[in-house]
Each structure stands twice: as structure tokens, then as C-alpha cells.
């Protein structure tokens, strides 16, 4: 009975929202046009990267902080040592060994490509993290315990660099105001730092949680 009521409510909502969506005209403001008009001054030629790292770079800065907080929350609740790695079938290990250099290469390519086509730090970091998880799953990379100084520096370096540059650019007049001539270089530097740190953070979301209890997954 309860399930039926929820189902009916959800259907009513979908019909209502869908109906309201259909009667909608064009938006009052065309942001795509504005992005296109300012793209030349953004330092990159791909509109998504221009929005993420330049026009709305402040959002991205805070989003990286959100990821860092998620990792901190996980670290705060886990205090048991990591599980010992369980070696998988040698064939799987060989495949993972072979795939890892290729994945690192893909990550670097994605980072580089972000300036002019789909790609960028988040995608590159995700590929790096996937490589680490793959190595962990075949038993070549042990789970992570409480992070040491080097790992802590690695986890925060990208965010700290982004934050420091954002603050330093206050001298240009506003937070994250890139000088147009240097914008491309600065964005690449920030994305490179973010790639490393996001890779470590995303890998950490998995590897810090890999404990004896709760099974090996």
C-alpha cells in the first residue's frame, strides 16, 4: 500500500514536471553565446574547460575541497590497519601490469587534451585512480593505512596549488583573475597539480577503505 502510494506520487510528479517542461520557451539568457564571445580571452579553446577552470573556476576550487572533505571523513572513521594484499591469478596480474603504463599515458594525454577538446584534470585523475584500484584488486598494490607526510602532501598539493594561485591572482584585481596572456599556462599548471591530487584522492576513497573486515572488494 505504501509502495503504491509512493509510486503514484512519483508518477504524478513526473507528469507534472514533464508537462511543465514541454510548455517551456527558449531561455531568457544565452550563456553559450557569452562563453563563445569570451573564449579567446580564457586561455583555452574548449568551452567546457574555459567554464570549469576560468569563468567558474571558483566553483571548481570548492568542488576539489568537497572531494578532499569526503576523503577526510573516510580517514576519520577508519583506524584499522589495511588488509594484506591477496595476489590474484598471474594472468590478471600480467594484464594489470601491462595496462598501467598505458593508463598513465592516457591520463597525461587527457590532461593535455583538455585545453582544446573534451578532457582535463578530473578525467585524467579518474584514469590514474582506476589504475591504482586495478593494481590493488590484483594484489600488486596494498591498501593504504593512515597516510604519512608524503601521501598527505600529495593528496593536498593540487588543491593547495590551486588555492595559492587563486589568492596570488588577487593582485590582478580579483580572485582567480588570470592575466589573459598567461591564462593558458596557469590553467595547465593547475590542472597538472589537480590530476595528481585527484588521482590520489579518488584512489584513496577506495584504498583507505580496503580493510580486512567487510571483505576484499
Interface pick for other proteins out of 12, 31, 102, 105 (rule CB under 8 A): 31
Provide, for the chain, the percentages of residues in helix, strand and coil under a 3-state DSSP scheme, each rounded to the nearest 5: 70, 0, 30
- Cα–Cα distance between 161 and 175 in angstroms, integer? 14
Stretch that binds other proteins, among 4-12, 63-71, 84-92, 121-129 (CB under 8 A): 63-71
Interface region with other proteins, contact rule CB under 8 A, candidates 53-61, 84-92, 112-120, 137-145: 53-61
How far is residue 41's CA from residue 43's CA, in Å, rounded to a whole number? 6
- Which one of residues 55, 104, 133, 209 is an interface residue with other proteins (CB under 8 A)? 55
What is the footprint of other proteins within residues 156-185 (CB under 8 A)?
Answer: 156, 159-160, 163, 166-167, 170, 172-178
d(CA 216, CA 85): 9
Q: Of the candidates 202, 211, 210, which has an alpha carbon nearest to the alpha carbon of residue 68?
A: 202
Binding span for other proteins by CB under 8 A among 1-9, 100-108, 118-126, 144-152: 144-152
Beta-carbon contacts of 122 under 8 Å, excluding residues fewer than 6 positions away, are 194, 198
In the chain, what is the straight-line distance between the N-terminal and C-terminal CA atoms, in Å? 37
**20 lies in the binding site for other proteins (CB under 8 A):** yes
CB of 129 to other proteins, least distance (A): 19
Cα–Cα dist 96/85, whole Å: 15
Give the DSSP letter string of 64-126: HHHHHHHHHHHHHH--SPBPPP----HHHHHHHHHHHHHHHHHHHHHHHHTTTSS--HHHHHH
Residue 77 near other proteins by CB under 8 A: yes
**Binding pattern for the stretch 84-123 against other proteins, x by CB under 8 A and - elsewhere:** ----------------------------------------
Using CB under 8 A as the criterion, which residues of the chain lie in contact with other proteins when the complex forms? 16-17, 19-21, 23-24, 27-31, 34-35, 38, 54-59, 62-63, 65-66, 68-70, 72-73, 75-77, 79, 146, 149, 152-153, 155-156, 159-160, 163, 166-167, 170, 172-178
Amino acid at each position: 500500500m505504501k509502495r503504491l502510494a509512493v509510486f503514484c506520487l512519483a508518477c504524478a510528479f513526473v507528469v507534472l514536471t514533464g508537462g511543465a517542461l514541454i510548455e517551456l520557451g527558449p531561455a531568457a539568457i544565452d550563456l553559450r553565446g557569452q562563453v563563445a564571445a569570451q573564449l579567446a580571452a580564457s586561455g583555452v579553446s574548449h568551452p567546457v574547460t574555459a567554464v570549469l577552470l576560468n569563468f567558474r573556476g571558483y566553483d571548481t576550487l570548492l568542488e576539489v575541497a568537497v572531494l578532499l572533505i569526503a576523503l577526510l571523513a573516510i580517514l576519520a572513521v577508519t583506524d584499522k590497519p589495511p588488509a594484506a594484499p591477496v595476489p590474484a591469478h598471474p594472468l590478471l596480474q600480467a594484464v594489470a601490469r601491462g595496462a598501467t603504463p598505458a593508463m598513465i599515458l592516457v591520463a597525461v594525454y587527457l590532461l593535455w587534451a583538455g585545453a582544446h577538446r573534451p578532457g582535463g584534470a578530473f578525467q585524467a585523475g579518474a584514469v590514474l585512480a582506476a589504475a591504482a584500484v586495478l593494481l590493488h584488486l590484483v594484489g600488486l598494490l596494498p591498501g593504504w593505512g593512515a597516510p604519512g607526510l608524503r601521501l598527505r602532501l600529495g593528496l593536498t598539493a593540487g588543491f593547495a596549488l590551486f588555492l595559492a594561485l587563486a589568492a596570488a591572482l588577487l593582485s590582478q584585481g580579483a580572485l582567480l583573475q588570470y592575466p589573459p596572456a598567461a591564462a593558458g599556462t596557469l590553467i595547465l599548471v593547475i590542472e597538472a597539480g589537480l590530476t595528481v591530487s585527484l588521482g590520489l584522492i579518488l584512489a584513496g576513497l577506495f584504498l583507505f577503505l580496503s580493510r580486512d573486515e567487510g571483505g576484499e572488494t
